[in-house]
Amino acid sequence: MISTPQKIRSGAAFPFDNSYVGLPKHFFAPQSPTPVSEPWLIKLNEPLAAELGLDVEALRRDGAAIFSGNLIPEGAEPLAMAYAGHQFGGFSPQLGDGRAILLGEVIDRSGKRFDIQLKGAGPTPFSRRGDGRAAIGPVLREYIISEAMFALGIPATRALAAVTTGEPVYREEVLPGAVFTRVAASHIRVGTFQYFAARGDTEGVRSLADYVIDRHYPALREADNPYLALFEAVSERQAALIARWLHVGFIHGVMNTDNMTVSGETIDFGPCAFMDAYDPATVFSSIDQHGRYAYANQPGIGQWNLARLGETLLPLIDGEPDSAVDKANGVIRAYGERFQAHWLAGMRKKIGLTGDEDGDLELVQALLSLMQAQNADFTLTFRRLSDLAGDEAAESAFVASFREAEASSAWLTQWRERLSRDPQTTSARATAMRSVNPAFIPRNHRVEQAIEAAVENGDFSLFDALLTVLARPYENQPDFAGYGEPPKPHERVLATFCGT
């Protein structure tokens, strides 16, 4: 067993260009991964590795050691980031990376900067008596969901690799250990700002804000009020992101402020899940006992989280406190309009509309209400509507989405009447609808089946098959048609778990 991580001097070189480590020392804690006994590479995301400018051949050879933390690539400057956060509404002034270690940053082939982070790589100063490790189930879940989100076109962190450690982790039961390698535009969260604001460290907030502007929003450097402009830009990205979640039936599950990035990426796929039958009150997370983060609550929680970000920026927005509050409140109020605009624009596309009419919102809401009343599957209903848009013979399949055969007839009449005023051709409309209404999502029962096979039998074939299907979510894949079907009653997954 390797007792300390070893530095790589050749072979799998990483083009590190680390910037976060240049911030004040209280922003992070230097921390090397804790080596493991018998690492084994489950999966290497070779296309992503190539995009990041990494040596794929070398990673095939050394990836198990690198992505377990046993070997540290030359140029890495491992650290655990400090942050705070509101968790289910209660504020924790110190959280931080308790089981995650940022190896460093790379510039990819297109010139974009990305973090490379190991999750489950051992304890850090922020572990709060935890072991800093991860079990294989949560690692596979995050790999599957993050790559599915990417394929769906939704901003999200990416999966670079997953490895087993050859060591057990102890939760409610003994489980195989694993490490997940995550790639993100950055890991800076609303909670990162809260960490410094909670300590009265205005200069820390300013340094962080300046860094975020330089890294994610460089055009804002020239704004009359860069910090107010930053707040507006983050609000816009979150409004667009959460609307995209709702368009595909995604439920994050733990929308704490430490799980909201300022870059606008989806992050931390713990108890997340995709809805089967449409119900706006759907909750999967086992720790969300009161439905705070239910499907339909996500837009409002996004606004609440942004208000917490705004509080940290007040001293930077305006030196006069009342004026700062007024300006920040204006951004928070505007978020609702931003979200509604993004959501309705996406829903128009999902039902095949290109233009805007006053009754479009009511038409969308009528369909959603019908789906809820009839227990219709969210993904399958919209996909079948896409088929119907291009072929009237597909009406029987669409109607079959509902429990009662005649339930959709009145809505279909209204929809066809509205389409008669839309300029698209039938073929173009069907193609456009299929490009936004996926045939395949990471259905909970399929994810759980893949995890169970890996945990119980060391069988990763279902995991690999699921990744293959989800890489092309908008295409018809006849050989994998079963992956598009809702679960049978005995297959339904009613609760998902955080995995920490």
Q: What are phi and psi of 310, to 5 degrees?
A: -55, -40
Compute the chain's Rg from CA coordinates: 23
- Cβ atoms of 355 and 421 within 8 Å: the answer is yes
Burial of 3 (0-12, 13-18, 19+ CB in 10 A): exposed
- Cβ atoms of 300 and 313 within 8 Å: the answer is no
State the CB neighbour count (10 A cutoff) for residue 298.
22
Of 32, 125, 15, the closest CA to residue 79 belongs to 32
Among residues 62, 97, 115, 258, the one annotated as catalytic is 258
- Cβ atoms of 439 and 384 within 8 Å: the answer is no
Q: Within a 13 Å sphere around the CA of 374, how many CA atoms are in the beta-carbon half?
A: 22
- Cβ atoms of 28 and 80 within 8 Å: the answer is yes
Tokens 């479009």 sit at which residue? 360
Query: What is d(CA 124, CA 128) in angstroms, rounded to the nearest whole number?
Result: 9
Active site residue 258: yes
Q: Within a 13 Å sphere around the CA of 275, how many CA atoms are in the beta-carbon half?
A: 27
Active site residues: 258
